[in-house]
Chains A and B, each alone.
Chain A
Amino acid sequence: EAGVAQSPRYKIIEKRQSVAFWCNPISGHATLYWYQQILGQGPKLLIQFQNNGVVDDSQLPKDRFSAERLKGVDSTLKIQPAKLEDSAVYLCASRLTGGNSPLHFGNGTRLTVT
Chain B
Amino acid sequence: KQEVTQIPAALSVPEGENLVLNCSFTDSAIYNLQWFRQDPGKGLTSLLLIQSSQREQTSGRLNASLDKSSGRSTLYIAASQPGDSATYLCAVKDNFNKFYFGSGTKLNVKP
Is B21 an interface residue, CB under 8 A from the partner? no
Contact mask A26-60 → B, CB, 8 Å, 1/0? 00000101000000111111001010000110000
Kindly list chain B residues whose C-beta atoms are within 8 Å of the C-beta of A50: 97
Which residues from B are CB-within-8-Å of A93?
43-44
Task: Give how many B residues have a beta carbon under 8 Å from the other chain's beta carbons.
Answer: 24
Q: A100-B49, A100-B51, A108-B43 are in contact. Are A42 and B97 (CB under 8 A)?
A: no
B31 at the interface (CB under 8 A from A): yes
A80 contacts chain B at the CB level, 8 A cutoff: no
Shortest CB–CB separation between residue A93 and chain B, in angstroms?
8
Q: Kindly state the separation between the CA atoms of A95 and B98 in the bound complex, as whole angstroms.
A: 11
In this assembly, does A73 line the interface, its C-beta being within 8 Å of a C-beta of chain B?
no
Q: Chain B 38-50, CB within 8 Å of chain A: the 1/0 string? A: 0001111110010
Docked complex Cα distance between A110 and B40 (Å) = 11
**A window 1-47: CB within 8 A of B:** 4, 6, 31, 33, 40-45
Could you tell me how many residues of chain A have their Cβ less than 8 Å away from some Cβ of chain B? Answer: 28
Binary interface profile of B, 81-111, with partner A (CB < 8 Å = 1, else 0)? 0000000010101001111011110000000
- Are A43 and B51 in contact, CB atoms less than 8 angstroms apart? no
Which of chain B's residues has its CB closest to A42's CB?
B101
Question: Once the chains are docked, how many angstroms separate the CA of A41 from the CA of B5?
Answer: 11
Q: Is B63 an interface residue (CB 8 A)?
A: no
> Are A110's CB and B41's CB within 8 A?
yes
Asked if B97 contacts A104 (CB within 8 A), the reply is no
The answer to the question of A98 belonging to the interface, with a C-beta cut-off of 8 Å to chain B, is yes
**In the complex, A93→B104 CA distance in Å?**
18
A105 contacts across to B, CB distance below 8 A: 36, 43-45
